[in-house]
Amino acid sequence: MTTELAPQLRGVDPDLQILTAQGVSMRFGGLVAVDQVDFSVGLGEIVGLIGPNGAGKTTFFNCLTGLYQPTSGQVVFQGAVLPPKPRRVVKAGMARTFQNIRLFANMTALENVMVGRYCRTSSGPFTSIIRGWKFRREERETKEMANQLLDFVGIGSSADHLARNLSYGDQRRLEIARALATEPKLILLDEPTAGMNPQETRQAEELILRIRDLGLAVVVIEHDMRFIFSLCDRVVCLMQGKVLVEGTPEVVQSDPQVIEAYIGTGPAEPEGTEPDGIVGDGGPRNA
Ligand SMILES: Nc1ncnc2c1ncn2[C@@H]1O[C@H](COP(=O)(O)OP(=O)(O)OP(=O)(O)O)[C@@H](O)[C@H]1O
Ligand SMILES: [Mg+2]
């Protein structure tokens, strides 16, 4: 588990919140998918968001990132209320990856990452058409940065491969590189290890720690409880749209409500054989 602040953040008050969501709700007709959720992320913090299938985790990410306009509540990021517009959320410094990978399948890995960077470049349509010096300089810098990010996530040798030809695990890494190209302060990862083998999962854990060491805050949704409890500083468990429990991994994994939500009460166990916490993969994954 990680408690120390990244070098870039030493001297910064660790209690400073980079993100605060207050009373966020999202209703789809009669279904309340997210119900009055209060949620915060501190500078340099890795927060795990867990909960059974359908608990509202992805919907909550969609509310934070402007994909959905919450039915009620507000999201404050770096001291300012965020408008529910994905492009403006990215520009404000929040990036994400998707549970169902969303890459430009017929573009190379390098081009996918370069697209992420374009929200920070200033060349407009005119400079792009005439390919003036400013456009060429920005394009060179963008390419250099994209190559560095591919190396950083461990797929530098696949820069020229089409995204659709990459393995599932490498596509997930590519999505992270593209998100990092937007120069975020906070990155939200929706099931980053889904479909990965144990070795890739360990590499993903190490990658997330290196992202935190760059000075970013991270929120990660995962069903793999071993991954969540070893990686995160704090864990929030959602259940039917509501926050069920929140705390350190030690507190959350031994909480009876969390154990019941994941394992169910089941038949009574003989005395002395009750689970003393959740380990391993705590729930089914989506395809
Ligand atoms: N666009 C939508 N329209 C209607 N209902 C939706 C929509 N998106 C999600 N839901 C519903 O909201 C609830 C929460 O879904 P969500 O995808 O957020 O859960 P989740 O916690 O991410 O689950 P999983 O672990 O399976 O990914 C579910 O009942 C789902 O069917
Ligand atoms: Mg989901």
With 80 as the cut, is the pLDDT of residue 131 above it? no
CATH class of the domain comprising 1-93+184-287: alpha beta
Query: Is the model's pLDDT at 122 over the cut of 80?
Result: no
Residue nearest to atom 9 of ligand 1 (CA): 59
Distance of CA 153 from the midpoint of ligand 2 (Å):
23
Indicate which residue's Cα is closest to atom 26 of ligand 1: 53
Alpha carbon of 219 to those of 10, 15, 45, 137, 159: distances in Å? 20, 16, 8, 34, 27
Residue with the larger pLDDT of the pair 267 and 220: 220
**Ligand 1 atom index nearest CA of 191:** 27
pLDDT value of position 273: 44
Q: What is the pLDDT of residues 142-163, one digit of tens each?
A: 999 999 999 999 999 999 999 9
Strand 17-28: give its sheet, edge to edge.
31-42, 17-28, 72-77, 80-81
Does the fold of domain 102-183 match that of domain 1-93+184-287? Answer: yes
Atom of ligand 1 nearest to the CA of 241: 14
Q: Give me the pLDDT at residue 123, please.
A: 65
Average pLDDT, the chain: 87
Token reading at 67: 């994909």
pLDDT mean over 179-192: 96
Domain spans, the chain: 1-93+184-287, 102-183
The CATH architecture to which 102-183 belongs is 3-Layer(aba) Sandwich (3.40)
* Mutation to probe ligand 1, out of 27, 35, 58, 191 (largest number of atoms < 8 A from CB): 58
20-39 pLDDT, tens per residue? 999 999 999 999 999 999 99
Residues with CB under 6 A from ligand 1: 28, 31, 33, 51, 53-59, 99, 286
User: Which residues make beta-bridge pairs with 207?
Assistant: none
Distance CA 69, CA 85 (A): 8
Confidence of residue 135 (pLDDT cuts 50, 70, 90): confident
| Least distant ligand from the CA of 286 | 1
Task: Please tell me the distance between residue 58's alpha carbon and the centre of ligand 1 in angstroms.
Answer: 7
Cα separation of 249 and 266, whole Å? 24
Q: Output the pLDDT for position 277.
A: 55
